[in-house]
Chain A
């Protein structure tokens, strides 16, 4: 079964005003024959896609609004049109047909196990605390819930990972961009992330701006309203940014720095033509595989099912690393092809060389390295008695150090409740 194509969705999303006009015209039998009206069957297809992706089903509401627009041509019609436009904006992207047979389970495409796992492996927090390189306890009242400090070699390792990823991306012809972390709401929503509601993952500031959850949003925003040339495509950029996520978790397996509100990430972002987008996604995936292979951790590549795609992705690969201390696979990276979903919302186009037509680009994004979970995978995989080995490829970025050992200079966390006047010198 083939679901509604992007071309049809473009009709729905980008031609909202003309669509509304068409809907009205069709009832008055004035519809232009060259512009197809939206049929109930198309809405059925959209609904199947929404349900398959476990997305909030707003199709009944859309149906209602479509009817209302047809009936009401008076004062209230404008409000109805606006609501309809907002609801259409919420729809998810179409789904790659390959994923329809997955029965909502991720498909394991490959497993990379080249490392013997340590026996009786310890979990990251325990290892890092023993080595005196990490603090997460008793901080809620001072630096916020789930905040953390990385100390000494662990903080160095973070910067080493960033530099290691940047070197790889530069070799792969990505252009580095410094990005803003404060973004207007519109850009975040255009990228397919909701900023309102109970379960929003987006932090808001007193000035109304939002904190970026990933530099993908800032990078997509950078290209908003730009018309590129076909010669420039595929265009590949990268960013190092701080990511802010309001999400939280009480799950035992997500304790420690597995799911935190703030972290650093090196991100890849690409803009391609429709023909280039699938090979570009493969390129992002291969770069990720290469990065983690060289780091020597065990990981697997998953092709994600429709229900795991979020709103903007047409298809998505996840990479999960084996975390021996937790005895679980944890997501450390992913890459998605968002086709023209974000481009339509942000008006990113290119001039096609063959006919000069201005068409929407496809956008893609992928994680090169996201620090906290990669630290978990590395530290748990490379534990060796009382120290942690440093992966060979990171040694040049760690001032040639080869092992992480206990830090004796960082004071241990000994806290006092209060100090009485008589107790000071």
Chain B
């Protein structure tokens, strides 16, 4: 099912003739170029066997041989263009020298004629090159990341942690039956009341506070719209998010999508084209906000419920490191913190590495945090953390600079909590929706209430003197 959706998603992307991420020169007049991704052909094609393995394991419909053939044509044309450009430069220099030294007019004329000839040749070669470039680069941009050594290449997920076995078959009511807590209309519209509503806010805040105080993360609040160029850079299937209809859209290619500030893609805006000092690395961000992924929950269907709903509160992590090893360590650290968080609820959950076929092309590894959902009789994903290597960074030019050289950063991150699905599972498991037992929960001292009163009295007193 997932595999099929990935393929459908891919086809959707492949159908786009013009990408917002890479715009060739002939189209640059009508379409503003917002970003020039770093296209690392050498790096990508260095290990063809591993790349082919990644394509096969993910079940992608990509013919690497054909892409390589296109690359060869592209390279030949490019080299030819480079030769012409070099010669043109040489002629220009000679012309300048001759004019200065008042050289023979015959030679001057000859050089001028050659210059014109070269100009026209470059122009016509560029025209020939545009469609070749278009064809190749778009294929190139669809090539996936290589897989991480831990990523299962079979159809089976790999269990890496489990807390408590799923409860044995006692009949459970579905969460939607709790009309006092949930009013569900459809996947876009539901309401949560009473302790479910409080847990929705409090659990999200607790987890962020835990990451800030115990994991040295920097808290952020992110935008809810992300433009197409960043979704393409992250290889996010565009069908995952709702398109926002904008009245005055300047760049028709670069449309906005409603991701929510609690989506991974929302972090990319603040690091696009960013060059940071190595001293700030590893850079650890955590945000709370909405997430509106309309496809992710469908795997928990077909019956619509809180497990399939589009909107949820989310805690999103984002870490940038200099090396792959550091990225591995950070992923482990985020997972450890997530384990502590879910353990505090004493909920049956597990962490698995999902099979390659379920990854988006930019992910090299994904760990999925799954809580047992009694009504579905299986585990559902309430969070996930992925390793993106430097695949996304290269596309959005997120780098650090050392001794005049750029190094693209390795990214790790993902939503570590989707409150809506967790609440549904907790209700079905009969676990109380209490956020105060969570690590990072707000524990107001007994003086809090009194302090309010004290503050108020003080204020009233001050007001007397106005």
A residues in contact (CB < 8 Å) with B: 112-114, 135, 138-139, 141-144, 147-152, 154-156, 158-159, 162-163, 166, 175-183, 198, 203-207, 209, 211, 218, 222, 240, 242, 244, 246, 261-262, 264, 290, 293-294, 296, 392-393, 396-397, 399, 407, 409-411, 413-419, 421, 423-425
Contact = CB atoms under 8 A, between A and B. Distances in A.
A166 B201 contact: yes
Given A144-B225, A423-B405, A413 B274 contact: yes
B225 A143 contact: yes
B456 interface: yes
A418 B22 CA distance: 13
Enumerate the 9 nearest inter-chain pairs by beta-carbon distance, A residue then B residue, closest first.
A143-B269, A147-B223, A178-B192, A411-B276, A141-B34, A150-B221, A206-B243, A143-B223, A142-B269
Interface string B21-44: 000000000001011101010000
A410 B219 CA distance: 10
A307 B208 CA distance: 43
B230 A176 contact: no
B462 interface: yes
Which DSSP category, helix, strand, loop or mixed, fits chain A's interface? mixed
Interface string B212-228: 11000011111111110
Interface stretch (B59-67, B128-136, B253-261): B253-261
A417 B33 CA distance: 11
Contacts, number: 219
Given A175-B194, A418-B36, A419-B406, A205 B258 contact: yes
B225 A180 contact: no
Contact of B218 (A143, A178, A410): A410
A138 B273 CA distance: 10
Contacts of A143: 222-223, 225-227, 230, 266, 269-270
A425 B409 CA distance: 12
Given A141-B254, A244-B224, A424-B38, A414 B276 contact: yes
Contacts of B402: 425
Contact of A222 (B191, B208, B448, B452): B191
B218 A151 contact: yes
30 contacts: A114-B459, A139-B223, A139-B270, A142-B227, A142-B269, A142-B272, A143-B227, A143-B266, A143-B270, A149-B269, A151-B220, A159-B205, A175-B197, A176-B194, A177-B197, A178-B193, A178-B197, A204-B244, A205-B243, A206-B242, A293-B456, A393-B452, A393-B455, A397-B442, A399-B209, A409-B280, A411-B274, A416-B397, A416-B406, A419-B38
B275 A424 contact: no
B223 A144 contact: yes
A149 B404 CA distance: 29
Contacts of B452: 294, 393
Contacts of A203: 244-246
Nearest to B243: A206
A156 B219 contact: yes
Given A181-B290, A206-B242, A409-B280, A262 B223 contact: yes
A353 B54 CA distance: 70
A418 B397 contact: yes
A196 to B, nearest CB: 11
Contacts of B310: 182
A244 B259 CA distance: 13
B46 to A, nearest CB: 14
A19 to B, nearest CB: 32
Given A155-B287, A222-B183, A409-B218, A177 B209 contact: no
Interface in B152-203: 183, 188-194, 196-198, 200-201
A35 B454 CA distance: 59
A419 B225 contact: no
B188 A209 contact: yes
Contact of A417 (B229, B273, B280): B273
A417 B275 contact: no
Interface of B: 32, 34-36, 38, 40, 183, 188-194, 196-198, 200-201, 205, 208-209, 212-213, 218-227, 229-230, 242-247, 251, 254, 256, 258, 260-261, 266, 268-270, 272-277, 280, 283, 287-290, 292, 310-311, 313, 397, 399, 402, 404-408, 442, 444-445, 448, 451-452, 455-456, 459, 462-463, 466
B189 A182 contact: yes
Contacts of B208: 159
Contact of A424 (B230, B406, B462): B406
Contacts of A409: 218, 280, 283
Contacts of B272: 142
A296 B458 CA distance: 11
B219 A424 contact: no
Given A150-B220, A180-B191, A181-B311, A114 B462 contact: yes
A211 B258 contact: yes
Name which of A139, A143, A399 has the most chain B CB atoms within 10 A of its CB: A143
Given A262-B223, A423-B406, A415 B275 contact: yes
Given A149-B220, A151-B220, A182 B269 contact: no
Nearest to B463: A114
B289 A242 contact: yes
Given A139-B269, A149-B223, A399-B209, A182 B274 contact: no
Contact of A415 (B222, B274, B283, B445): B274
A407 B288 CA distance: 19
A290 B459 CA distance: 11
Contacts of A162: 201, 205
Contact of B442 (A112, A114, A163, A416): A163
Contacts of A218: 191
B221 A155 contact: yes
Contacts of A414: 274-276
A117 to B, nearest CB: 14
B466 to A, nearest CB: 7
B258 A180 contact: no
Contacts of A396: 442, 444-445, 448, 451
